[in-house]
């Protein structure tokens, strides 16, 4: 399935509750998932996992906000946020991670340091 649209802060695609979809998902813009998805997800843009969503996928994304459940590895190029109702089981690779009180992260986090950082002077 391929969802295309212009980059914007408005939702450009939506998988509603009750939808069960599997496969390889590529999109641009912002996609919100409130249903069940199994497979893999790729985008340089923004993915929102709604409270009722169950996503079993490896995800490569620009930015992700998780209020539902994700089982799989996440590579967020800019930012990842797990909201209070969010549950993640798997590895997260991102330069910026926000974990809200009440959320659950069962896995490993890798936050790369900037290649341009200078060692601290002593």
Between 86 and 3, name the one with better pLDDT. 86
Per-residue tokens: 14 = 């939506």
Specify the 3-state DSSP secondary structure of 80. Answer: strand
On the 0-12 / 13-18 / 19+ scale of CB atoms within 10 A, 118 is exposed
Residue 113: predicted pLDDT: 74
pLDDT tens sequence across 80-92 = 999 999 999 999 9
Integer Cα distance of 82 and 28 in angstroms? 21
pTM for this structure?
0.83
Domain extent listing, the chain: 2-109
């Amino acid at each position: 399935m391929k969802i295309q649209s212009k980059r914007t802060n408005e939702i450009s695609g939506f998988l509603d509750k009750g939808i069960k979809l599997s496969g390889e998902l590529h999109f641009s813009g912002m996609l919100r998932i409130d249903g069940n998805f199994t497979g893999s997800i790729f985008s340089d843009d923004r993915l929102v996992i709604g409270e009722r969503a169950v996503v079993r996928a490896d995800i490569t994304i620009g930015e992700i906000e998780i209020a539902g459940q994700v089982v799989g590895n996440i590579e967020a190029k800019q930012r990842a946020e797990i909201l209070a109702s969010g549950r993640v089981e798997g590895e997260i690779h991102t330069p910026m991670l926000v974990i809200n009180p009440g959320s659950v992260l069962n896995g490993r986090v890798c936050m790369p340091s900037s290649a341009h950082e200078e060692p601290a002077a002593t």
